[in-house]
Chains A and B, each alone.
Chain A
């Protein structure tokens, strides 16, 4: 099956700094990437949808100027958390429908801790 990787797997940053999370599709072209956020003991919540070569679509309540998404190629989408605050500490997961098969492929997630 398709493989999606994320980097870094975990990151600790100081409040006010920015952090970039990469999501790569390793063996197929990912036209669409979904970005989810998961707080402790909660379920995954969709943050935004990115399509290669176009602007991302953000869910209600997600600040597009704070969570910058770039999907410049068919194998890489990035999420940058700008001016991070402790409340942004969460588990960030990307997924893609892949090459049109019936399942979604998820990355392993990135644990962000803002101190």
Chain B
């Protein structure tokens, strides 16, 4: 699976959009981009995933560049409960088969 690079930490004001970048320059054509988050002392939680097109669900939006070498997770209106470590994961399995390989992620702190 391709390696990802994320900033170590980010701050965001409550109510504002949080934009979390991820670089995956070695991604191959059959690899998906997945985002999970882990709130302190809990198991990871799925957020969203995509292959080529931008995606949106009730939690977030995922913007993937045309060359697929980077992506951005957008939390449109961050709340204090969104404070967590966010993991960008690239995988061929589509999350439904193999294990996930977690990097260090981005620690997002949402501040009042």
* A34 and B99 in contact, given A102-B49, A103-B49 (Cβ under 8 angstroms): yes
Interface residues contributed by chain B, number (CB under 8 Å): 22
CA distance A4 to B45 in the complex (A): 12
Interface residue B69 (Cβ < 8 Å from any Cβ of A)? no
Residue of A at shortest CB range from B104? A43
Out of B45, B96, B97, B98, name the residue touching A106 (CB < 8 Å): B45
Mind listing 26 A-B residue pairs with CB under 8 Å? A4-B43, A6-B43, A43-B102, A43-B103, A43-B105, A44-B38, A45-B102, A46-B101, A91-B41, A93-B43, A95-B99, A95-B100, A97-B95, A97-B96, A102-B49, A102-B94, A103-B96, A104-B36, A104-B44, A104-B95, A107-B43, A108-B42, A108-B43, A109-B41, A109-B42, A111-B41
> Which residues of B are at the interface with A, using a C-beta cutoff of 8 A?
36, 38, 41-46, 49, 87, 94-105
